[in-house]
Amino acid sequence: MEQFNAILQGVLVGGLYALFAAGLSLIFGVMRLVNISHGDLIVAAAYLSWSVVQVTGLHPLLCVIIAVPVAAGFGYIVQRGILNRTLGKDILPPLLVTFGLSVIIQNGLLQSFSADSRKLDAGWLETKSFELLPGVAVGLFPVMIFAAAVATIWALQHMFYKTKLGRAFRATSDDSEIAQLMGLDNRKVYAQAMAICFAVVALAGVFFAIRANFDPFMGPGRLIFGFEAVIIGGLGNLWGTLAGGVILGVAQAIGAQLDPGWQVLAGHVAFIIVLALRPRGLFPRTSE
């Protein structure tokens, strides 16, 4: 029963990893950009929500209302101001520029907030749990994170395939030059995609800040978890990303059961196994 409990916790944590990954997946899909500072942005969003709570005294979950639009606006500006200049055939400029951003964000956070770890306190939300089956209890908050992940993936999927904006994203992704001929402004489309990515990042950041302690240097770890979820699930498949997050969470939970030092390592091992056996991921888009 203890094992089952651990695996269940792993599944729920997988929802958080899927939230880390969703923005990464969207951005790669639309503009083939891999943002190395993605994890640092999640941590920055955690600090943003922490600051909002400090200043306004809002409930941590309510500060989503402020953090998400602020982050989205910031994403739009970053894309238009910096990242659009890096896009082209060469993969080096976007990688290096986002790598530079990563170092700047980490040290900027260190400078402003010190190296002390912080946490958002959501009070009773964090401690409340209910019995799913006899002997199997799940926390309310992990279930909320998972539900938020499912809702986010559904919303992104819907946006991508059912809306005008999504059509613009897909057109630009398929052939950016033709899309431009048809009257789309690529720079604007990319900025819109980045705004959505940042909105998801902010959501992930708030949940992350409530769930555990965070410090300025936790970004790269979050990037790697998100990246692993994307690759395990299969490129370009958002529901696959959710599955990838869940597999990663479960692998880490099983690893932690064997030895606490194996938790993160077990996730990496799962990633390596998938890469070795199914290099296109478990649920690649084209096989649908």
Summarize as ranges the residues that interact with another protein (CB under 8 A): 28, 32-34, 36, 82, 85-86, 91-97, 99-104, 106-108, 110-111, 220, 223-224, 227-228, 231, 235, 259, 261-262, 264-265, 268-269, 271-272, 275-276, 279
- Cα 181 off chain centre by: 32
Q: Which is nearer to another protein, 59 or 113 (CB)?
A: 113
Whose Cβ is closer to another protein: residue 239's or residue 262's?
A: 262
Exposed, middle or buried, 288 (CB in 10 Å: 0-12/13-18/19+)? exposed
Q: Compare residues 113 and 155 and give the one whose CB is closer to another protein.
A: 113
Give min distance, CB of 43 to another protein, in A: 15
Q: How far is the CB of 150 from another protein (least distance, A)?
A: 25
Is residue 68 a contact partner of residue 155, using CB atoms and an 8 Å limit?
no
* Residue ranges with strand state E in the chain: 129-133, 136-139
Least distance from another protein to the Cβ atom of residue 277, Å: 11
Q: What gap in Å lies between CA 95 and CA 25, rounded to an integer?
A: 16
Nearer to another protein, 63 or 254 (CB): 254
Q: What's the CA gap between 132 and 130, in Å, rounded?
A: 6
| Residue (10 or 226) nearer to another protein, CB | 226
Rounded Cα gap, residues 255 and 262, in angstroms: 5
d(CA 42, CA 51): 14
Minimum CB separation from another protein for residue 126, in Å? Answer: 28
